[in-house]
Amino acid sequence: MSAIDEVLQANAAYAAQFAWGDLPAPPTRRLIVLACMDARIVVSQILGLKPGEAHVLRNAGGLVTEDVLRSLLISHYLLGTREFMIMAHTDCGMMTFTDDDLFRRLRHETGTAVVTPTRFFAFRDLEENVREQVQKVRSHPWIPATISVRGFIYDVKTGRLREVSA
């Protein structure tokens, strides 16, 4: 059976005992979390979040891309979030390759050059990278200074978060 068909079976069991049908859309903790797509990261468990409490953004690396800024602006201006938590993690796959290598490999394997994505944003220094992501949010002219922006590193071996100082 395909993985999607397996999770659809799990969803039928979830729906059968579903108890969250009356939650409003605005996150009750006024929190938005950005984390890496990494399979070992289950944001709701790591942060003790229940349905309805926080917006969650995820991409490769937990990076502040244009898409993350798009989502963050919608989250703040239309749905009232006011704290932004950025969560990188140890053993991140983004530190295992370079953009140039991956672009070359894709062109070679597929025989095709493409326009987008224009970058993969591979990086080398985990802590410095978190600082850069925080800075990208803080310096955006449409993000009010009243929004709290803090960066963290999640340790996949211990389950513990550590704040990255500015």
Residues 58 to 97: which contact its own copies by CB under 8 A? 58-60, 65-71, 73-75, 77-79, 83, 85, 91, 93-94, 96-97
Compute and round to an integer the Cα radius of gyration of the chain: 18
Residue 35 CB, shortest distance to its own copies, in Å, is: 9
**Helix, strand, or coil here: 139?**
coil
Whether 58 and 36 have beta carbons less than 8 Å apart is answered as yes
Residue 41 CB, shortest distance to its own copies, in Å, is: 8
Choice between 160 and 166, CB closer to its own copies: 160
Residue for token pair 């938005």 = 32
Residue 9 CB, shortest distance to its own copies, in Å, is: 8
Of 26-65, binders to its own copies (CB under 8 A) are 26-33, 37-42, 44-49, 51-60, 65
CB environment 130-158: b (16+ within 10 A), e (fewer):
beebbebbeeeeebeeebebebbbbeeee
Of 95-134, binders to its own copies (CB under 8 A) are 96-97, 102, 105-106, 109-110, 112, 114, 116-121
Whether 107 and 36 have beta carbons less than 8 Å apart is answered as no
Residue 125 CB, shortest distance to its own copies, in Å, is: 19
Choice between 110 and 165, CB closer to its own copies: 110
Q: Amino acid letter at 96?
A: T
Residue 134 CB, shortest distance to its own copies, in Å, is: 13
What's the token pair of residue 30? 């006024």
What's the token pair of residue 111? 């025989």
